[in-house]
Chains A and B, each alone.
Chain A
């Protein structure tokens, strides 16, 4: 057992990690006292309100921008334009996201911002600004961009073995095309920033951001200032899900610029329509593939080209694509494989991180392939999946050994037992035989998800822990709280490491002036990284206090244990209270605070060859979902869900179960309900997001909650490589929702003859399910090669290779944003 993962030997009742406790801010949440960035406006004097001037055309050159009429609106104070930018006019790090653009690249692109005394005045001022444009032809659908060869960024390939040989020797070869939709984050709190100028020209920005350090960097480069002049604070976010990893920076920069120019606090909060039409979403993808199976149903080869819909700029599309390529295997051994990736450039919002970060988009491809091909191979989909699971000694297509592949089987079998699948499948067969217009089915799918940032440098974190003279503890760390319970876990880690009760520990809001150079709270790594740093800081303090307590107790420091607020000498009953030890330490002039640091060991990744071991470990899980489909309409309900998931030794079981359930339902939303629609017609609304409101973009609600929803944490799941033996939990459960989609596919198939292969759109809305079951009920002939359907044999679609002229793949370009910054910043 590693030092990092080992828990105190005093036993689980004596320490705080592993206890099921509520969210540290729960009492504030439920009483409405928890403050979010925009709640601070009511407490801010003389605040100005910023409002974007959006241009409603998908692609155009701005030929005239006249802000004068805005100043005629009472209450308008200032219109911010490109000319006001003292530093770099860029909201991103790749120089492709002008904060105040002169070219419109998506429908609703904001060209400038109006500042006014009231939101109403700002809105009217924005409406008064005159923008004239010269429209240009726009690419909306990902297929439009593929046809026009409009790509951006690198075109990496993950390759192993000989895919041609793998396909040639296969007993069965199938090919197909699959296009699936993206997803809107729909955090309940929209993007928001509130900035003011402190004394001596220091800028203080409160931002709803998952990445305060990068927000700080962008604000600095827009203002032409150094990072030490900017402080970014995030109290908490009303949801992030990846949508606040890259996207908040520009909004924070606008607020900061406004504050600098006017000398007054400036608030920029997007309303829901603005947030939906201006901020990026999960990437939809286009996938083209060929797969080979042997007679036993084992995959012999897979060739695929994945095209991510990047939107108008790169944002995080390259790393998202990299993760997609690294997750197309999911839990399956694919001996021969070649997967090409590319990023389409379309005139839509710039797609970005979203829980899973490309992982879901890679995994859905293989799950879709298995779901469609199983009937053609004469196998149950369940059985086809099981046969292809990784075994000990095998490695991923990019060369990382798959550690603990036995856990794939453990969660799989755990779900089969917990969900009583054999009994229920027999009941379902009876039900389906008796009900011509309603069909039920159970889908079972596994998850294997790699934990760590693909880019090795991001896998580091810092913390700052203070012990005050009265024994109270204050911790800071670089992670942000967006509801995932990170702060709760960090308090548990600190209390455990120091051997004090939870009540002794308070956590201060995330600020860049406390812990610098932090990574985004992303990639599920928040607890791993910041937990390592908090633990490190607390250990430094504890080791010093062991010296103090040892001297007082008359034993060696090595024989001192802090348990539940008391320092004991090994083998003795009596001890010294924590407060006493702390006070003594102060008078002995022992340092009572420490900066902690953590870096994930053992990672390496070559992003030129797309090989290496980028992940510290894999998180595993499995879900079984039962659905019922109404044959008249395609409407369906989820009747029961059973999940067994591997969170290592849980740091905080109530929090972890919450992440698993919430991730599952969010994934089910992506796959079944949430339906982003863009106007791709040739009219004036070409490129408009037509689902730009909660009334048209439907999230899962109570009606999507399965009546029976059971989550079991995999037992004896200690993870050597992570803090207190735990595993990351934020993203992996989202992908458990493939079980819903596969259940719907099987239920649709049940309307047709046995062995029917069903193509299912994604999202599988009632309409999509109805078309699928209608097709199945027709007993449709296979192998017709129509768009979207599986083609039997080698003559089907051939995934396009990568373009040899595409920009070179990193390592440099992933670093470019960081190495290039100082030269971009005017001083």
Chain B
């Protein structure tokens, strides 16, 4: 049954989802109720709350979604159940650890985890099992042994990408037995039902309205519907992957009276390339962009593996990362360096805004209340030399204290153009324009870079906080361009590692 977003309809809409093959109603579930709480309430307590902000992965579940590679198949995608509204699961198929196997009939992932000592206290284990199962079922896992050019040490001989578990934390094992379990996995058996499900019907977006009292979650069928709702309710909250909003709900107790789910809106999920630009639909997830671009935009190729975790990238959208207006989002520095534009849409039509003009203050942007981000436009041709540096305490799944994106075009050793995007050094992401000016037209030499480093080190107004001191942040700006120069000129193969 397809439901249109018609607010005149009755509250009961027949919203439901299947969990481990069992249909369960979503009618009347308040929008603040997370998928995790809803699933646990059904009695499937395998998925756990560890942090309630998508950092630990104890809540990971599998959801059948259209393939992240864009082909017409189904993929088992792992996501953080603690972040998304339960209502957003309407019409979808969910598998938890309980649905993969039983103690008497373990799933291959579960068997490897159990016999190799992959669980100790066991609390994080169902989440690991789901993340590992998603990678187990990833189409082309073996053929595509080293996706994205990651470090070989982070891939098994079976093509297993260790980054698939970058969003799962274990406090007991130290991870070695979990890695060994992952690397020991073979191919799914021919009669494996979840493997066979991949060739079945591609899950379609379903328009939804789930209401409880005066709180509603609405998923429109198309862009026109979304813009109409947004026009009627400028106070509405736009929710895509909910990886930011979910944290607000869980940690800060924020509640939205009216939430519009735009993650499945078809017009927001196009990826097109023409001579002038790449146009990335705002509701494409980071994983979808990573897989579908497959390195076509090298700067983004450097960014993606460092953007949060696989669990988050499976939910988070590029539009959402810009929509929050955060000064420490990882996309803005790279997109600023790429000279990206945003396409903003409303019932009145569309307009294009340069990303450099988009941010106006701390979590403030030029987007009007009745507008949504439709797409990100990256002009072609791309700059030939790029770099992305994320300074953080931890390499997997951390928030940057400073992030720097570089896009440079050299002509005979001279800097023709250079754009440098910065995050974490001011109330908004920003372009390092003084540094760009100092470099443009100069020779790409150590002397130039040393001079520019002093300019870059003075850009922004970095703060002291729990992530880093202001002095370190400023020093890292300075160091970053020295490192970028080293990466572009050094013959040292390891020097380009993104640290």
Contacts and interface: CB of A to CB of B under 8 A. Distances in A.
A709 B176 contact: yes
Contact of A22 (B52, B114, B165, B479): B114
B173 A632 contact: no
B472 A767 contact: yes
A32 B163 CA distance: 23
B154 to A, nearest CB: 8
A819 B429 CA distance: 62
A107 to B, nearest CB: 14
A283 interface: no
Contact of A632 (B40, B52, B123, B486): B486
B125 A677 contact: no
Contact of B172 (A662, A675, A705, A766): A662
Interface in A480-497: 482-485
A658 B52 contact: no
Contacts of A675: 393, 466
A437 interface: yes
A709 B113 CA distance: 18
A702 B162 contact: yes
Given A188-B169, A438-B494, A691-B466, A702 B175 contact: yes
B120 A694 contact: no
A236 B122 contact: yes
Contacts of B117: 22-23, 26, 654-655, 657-658
Interface in A589-630: 630
Given A32-B98, A35-B45, A271-B49, A239 B121 contact: yes
Interface string A684-713: 000000110111101111111101010000
Contacts of A457: none
A770 interface: yes
Nearest to B181: A30
A705 B55 contact: no
B285 interface: no
User: In which size bucket is the chain B interface?
Assistant: 35 or more
Interface string B44-65: 1111111111011010000000
B251 interface: yes
Interface in A175-197: 185-189
B222 to A, nearest CB: 33
B431 interface: no
Contacts of A483: 119-123, 172
A30 B499 contact: no
Contacts of B486: 437, 632
Contact of B103 (A27, A633, A700): A27
B396 interface: yes
B231 interface: no
Given A22-B117, A238-B48, A632-B480, A694 B123 contact: no
Contacts of A189: 48, 50, 121, 123
Contact of B102 (A31, A123, A240): A31
A766 B125 CA distance: 29
A435 interface: yes
B393 A702 contact: no
B14 interface: no
A475 interface: no
Interface in B73-117: 96-98, 100-103, 106, 109-111, 113-117
A135 B118 CA distance: 48
Interface string A16-40: 0000001101111111111110110
Contacts of B162: 702
A32 B97 contact: yes
Contact of A707 (B40, B153, B166, B483): B153
Q: Is the interface of A mostly helix, strand, loop or mixed?
A: loop
Interface in A643-663: 654-655, 657-658, 661-663
Given A632-B482, A694-B56, A696-B467, A658 B101 contact: no
Contacts of B45: 32, 35, 38-39, 42
Interface string A548-573: 00000000000000000000000000
Nearest to A698: B394
A162 interface: no
Interface string B115-135: 111111111111001000000
Given A438-B494, A698-B398, A705 B174 contact: yes
A26 B111 CA distance: 9
A762 interface: no
Interface string B452-473: 0000000000000111110010
Interface in B313-362: none
B436 to A, nearest CB: 21
A56 to B, nearest CB: 14
A694 B51 contact: yes
A271 B163 CA distance: 27
Contacts of A662: 120, 171-174
A273 interface: yes
Contacts of B109: 30
A33 B98 contact: yes
B119 A29 contact: yes
Interface in A794-823: none
Contact of B476 (A28, A633, A699): A633
B476 A273 contact: no
B397 interface: yes
Contacts of A666: 171, 174
A694 B116 CA distance: 27
Contacts of B168: 701-702
A186 B171 contact: yes
Nearest to B478: A632
Nearest to A39: B45
A185 B118 CA distance: 20
A32 B169 contact: no
A665 interface: yes
B126 A484 contact: no
Contacts of A29: 113-114, 119, 122, 125-126
Contact of A31 (B43, B110, B173): B110
Given A188-B58, A632-B482, A42 B40 contact: yes
Nearest to A437: B486
Given A28-B103, A30-B129, A483-B121, A693 B171 contact: no
A702 B32 contact: no
B286 interface: no
Contacts of A704: 175, 394
B171 A188 contact: yes
B115 A22 contact: yes
Nearest to A32: B46
B393 A673 contact: yes
A658 B172 contact: yes
A524 to B, nearest CB: 15
Interface in B26-42: 30, 32, 40-41
A775 B463 CA distance: 22
20 contacts: A26-B114, A30-B110, A31-B97, A32-B45, A32-B96, A34-B125, A188-B170, A238-B48, A238-B122, A238-B123, A271-B49, A272-B49, A272-B53, A437-B486, A630-B497, A702-B154, A703-B394, A705-B175, A709-B176, A767-B393
Given A675-B393, A767-B393, 5 more contacts: A27-B103, A30-B118, A32-B45, A700-B175, A700-B394
